[in-house]
Amino acid sequence: MSLAIVPGSFDPMTLGHLALVKKAAKKYDRVIVAVMVNPAKRYTFDEKTRMEIAKKTVAELPNVQVISDRGLLIDLFDRTGATVVCKGWRNRSDYAYELKMAEWNKTHNPRFRTELYKSEGKYANLSSTEVRTLLAEGKVPEDLVHPDALPILLESLKF
């Protein structure tokens, strides 16, 4: 049974993230979306809200499960018996950053395997930052997040 982890801050999860999760869910038997919590990092959406948004976003995919984790990805990888970690990239700086992370993880856990997917099509340049920017300007990011996740997102900001 193959298992892919798709980790991220998901602050919040976008339709770009969903496109990546769909690719992983097609290729691997099971997918774990890991909403990572870094206590040193400030998020716009709290852990519970990021989880709820992620769950609504991937609800249509039967082999995908959403969890949250506060530790290192290399430990989550072993604990879940994962086959691979799937991450997306949009541009050269994303790619360079992801390569560096993949190398770091491999150095600290030789079993660790990363697959990098280029974002394509309609959501190729979409980011959580863009969603947060629109929200800060009082605009509803309708086409950028899953319609079922939108009410949770707006409610949490008391939009």
| Binders of ligand PNS in range 133-152 (CB under 6 A) | none
| Binders of ligand PNS in range 11-70 (CB under 6 A) | 36
Q: Which of 43, 95, 104, 117 touches ligand PNS by CB under 6 A?
A: 104
73 binds ligand PNS (CB under 6 A): yes
Could you tell me how many residues of this chain bind ligand PNS (CB under 6 A)? Answer: 8
User: Smallest distance, Å, CB 25 to ligand PNS?
Assistant: 18
Segment interacting with ligand PNS (CB under 6 A) among 7-15, 46-54, 59-67, 139-147: 7-15
Segment interacting with ligand PNS (CB under 6 A) among 1-9, 18-26, 53-61, 147-155: 1-9
Query: SS3 for the chain, per residue?
Result: CCEEEEEECCCCCCHHHHHHHHHHHHHCCEEEEEEECCCCCCCCCCHHHHHHHHHHHHCCCCCEEEEEECCCHHHHHHHHCCCEEEEEECCHHHHHHHHHHHHHHHHHCCCCCEEEEECCHHHCCCCHHHHHHHHHCCCCCCCCCCCCCHHHHHHHCCC
8 binds ligand PNS (CB under 6 A): yes
Q: Which positions lie near ligand PNS, rule CB under 6 A?
A: 7-9, 36, 72-73, 101, 104
